[in-house]
Amino acid sequence: MFDQFVKDVSGKEMYLIFSLWIFLVFFVVVSFLLFITKKKHLDHMSALPLEDSTIDSTQTLQL
């Protein structure tokens, strides 16, 4: 099916390889960011929808 869209495009293999590299780089970067993210930050972000809308000025999150 994909060949129908790119049959007249010269160098179509390069587009496929380039899109694979974009996906691979994105996946590696997201995985890296997931591993370096601090547990405290993840806990804070997961609790955000459940917290009150009032902000206590004595509580601050250090990232």
Task: Report d(CA 49, CA 36) in Å as an integer.
Answer: 23
pLDDT attached to residue 61? 60
Of 27 and 37, the one with more pLDDT: 27
Tokens 């902000």 label which residue? Answer: 55
Q: State the chain's mean pLDDT as an integer.
A: 78
Task: Report d(CA 35, CA 46) in Å as an integer.
Answer: 16
Q: Tell me the C-alpha to C-alpha distance, in Å, between residue 43 and each of 2, 48, 49, 55, 61.
A: 43, 9, 12, 17, 11
Of 32 and 17, the one with more pLDDT: 32
Task: Report d(CA 22, CA 52) in Å as an integer.
Answer: 40
